[in-house]
């Protein structure tokens, strides 16, 4: 945080909005972040082409180890994976990194590829939901989720609006991976999911795509979106026979402290209920689609809940879009390679969020 405030004062010295931006950054709750390049390189702008080259090089360098650990934690191999969902909004590759992963890491050639590029921070929740849908359509399947977010590659030194300066002090870089098993495993048994778009808010979180790359745009009304989204989450839980205010765990996208504070208030849940999301925000910043995976990793690390414990996973992003799921904690059967019959109603989100990783540093679940 201290380094962030220091470089903001240097780069944007004399700008009338700087004092407000510095106060907002100090109030984000972010204590540390990690970036994929040294800070001096991050603050330069070598051009969109070079930044996208860095995105490709670093994603290919960092993702494989994370994927391998995720598969090991889930008790499966690359050959057992039926689909790969790759989520990222901070760089562009075509074909998607999914093709490179399949070709280099031993996945089957008939593995489905599902890249998600334009849901921003909501993409982590969307990936979990699409994996659940896939396993429901194809019972017994296994889906690998890979989140690769290098938000620092979107830094624009020429953007000095309050929203841009705030985002410069909020977002961090991360790679995370998750496995959704169609049967078996230990983790969250996904039982119901939903999506919701707040009408006429598509311009509130967006990119302006220019010659210099992606310019993040944030409307001042975004922090107020939890009030209309809280009833949607409440209705999802109610449709499953649950009271949203009385669940055992909450895995919520950490877009900022006000997002978490407001949702806690509108759902009538204790401040500590979102402790995993708050810890992710404090230690890594807003790591976009990887937030929900890291917050869920923390749930594992804290001590696994009692089997049958109920919970919710929710990601929020551009649109304004909410991707939500509810499920129960399930224990692990013997891992002897056998697939366990089930009715197709639940998929199992494994202890897989293998790592949140940056240049040379990894945190293992």
108: Cβ–Cβ under 8 A, 6 or more apart, which residues? 78, 79, 81, 102
The secondary structure of 108-148 as a DSSP string is -TT-EEEEE-S-GGGHHHHHHHHHHHHHHHSTT-EEEEEEE
Q: Which one of 63, 121, 148, 154 is the catalytic residue?
A: 121
Q: Torsions phi, psi of 317, nearest 5?
A: -165, -160
Residue 121 is among the residues annotated as catalytic for this protein: yes
Tokens 């804290």 — which residue? 302
- Buried-state track 214-246, b at ≥16 Cβ within 10 A, e below 16: bbbbbeeebbebbeebbebbbebbeebebebee
Tokens 């009338």 — which residue? 16
208: Cβ–Cβ under 8 A, 6 or more apart, which residues? 214, 215, 217
Q: How far apart are CA 244 and CA 231, in angstroms?
A: 10
Strands (E), 238-282: 249-252
Q: How far apart are CA 245 and CA 264, in angstroms?
A: 9
Q: How far apart are CA 184 and CA 197, in angstroms?
A: 33
Q: Are 352 and 74 in contact (CB under 8 A)?
A: yes
Q: How far apart are CA 35 and CA 315, in angstroms?
A: 22
Q: How far apart are CA 180 and CA 55, in angstroms?
A: 26
CA dist 359 → 58, 61, 73, 124, 364 (Å): 8, 9, 22, 21, 14
Q: How far apart are CA 350 and CA 336, in angstroms?
A: 16
Catalytically annotated residues:
121
């Amino acid at each position: 945080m201290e380094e962030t405030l220091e470089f903001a004062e240097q780069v944007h010295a004399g700008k009338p909005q700087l004092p407000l931006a510095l106060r907002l950054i100090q109030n984000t709750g972010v204590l540390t972040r990690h970036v994929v390049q040294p800070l001096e390189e991050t603050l330069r702008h070598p051009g969109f082409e070079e930044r996208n080259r860095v995105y490709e090089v670093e994603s290919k360098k960092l993702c494989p180890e994370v994927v391998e650990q995720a598969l090991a934690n889930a008790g499966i191999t690359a050959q057992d994976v039926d689909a790969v969902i790759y989520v990222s909004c901070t760089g562009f590759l075509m074909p998607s990194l999914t093709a490179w992963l399949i070709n280099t890491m031993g996945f089957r050639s008939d593995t489905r590829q599902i890249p998600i590029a334009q849901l921003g921070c909501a993409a982590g929740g969307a990936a979990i939901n699409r994996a659940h849908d896939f396993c429901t359509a194809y019972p017994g399947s296994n889906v690998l989720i890979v989140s690769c977010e290098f938000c620092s590659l979107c830094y624009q030194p020429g953007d000095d609006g309050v929203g841009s300066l705030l985002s410069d002090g909020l977002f961090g870089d991360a790679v995370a991976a998750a496995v959704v098993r169609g049967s078996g495993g230990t983790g969250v048994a996904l039982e119901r999911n939903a999506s919701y778009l707040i009408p006429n808010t598509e311009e509130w979180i967006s990119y302006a795509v220019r010659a210099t790359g992606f310019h993040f745009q944030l409307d001042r009304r975004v922090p107020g979106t939890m009030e209309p989204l809280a009833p949607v989450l409440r209705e999802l839980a109610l449709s499953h026979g649950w009271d949203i205010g009385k669940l055992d765990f909450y895995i919520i996208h950490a877009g900022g402290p006000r997002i978490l504070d407001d949702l806690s208030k509108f759902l009538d849940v204790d401040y500590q209920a979102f402790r995993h999301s708050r810890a992710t925000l404090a230690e890594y910043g807003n790591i976009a689609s990887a937030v929900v995976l890291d917050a869920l990793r923390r749930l594992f690390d804290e001590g696994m809940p009692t089997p049958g414990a109920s919970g919710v996973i929710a990601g929020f992003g551009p649109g304004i879009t909410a991707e939500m799921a509810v499920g129960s904690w399930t224990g692990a059967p013997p891992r002897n390679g056998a697939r366990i019959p089930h009715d197709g109603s639940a998929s199992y989100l494994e202890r897989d969020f293998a790592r949140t990783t940056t240049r040379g540093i990894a945190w293992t679940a």
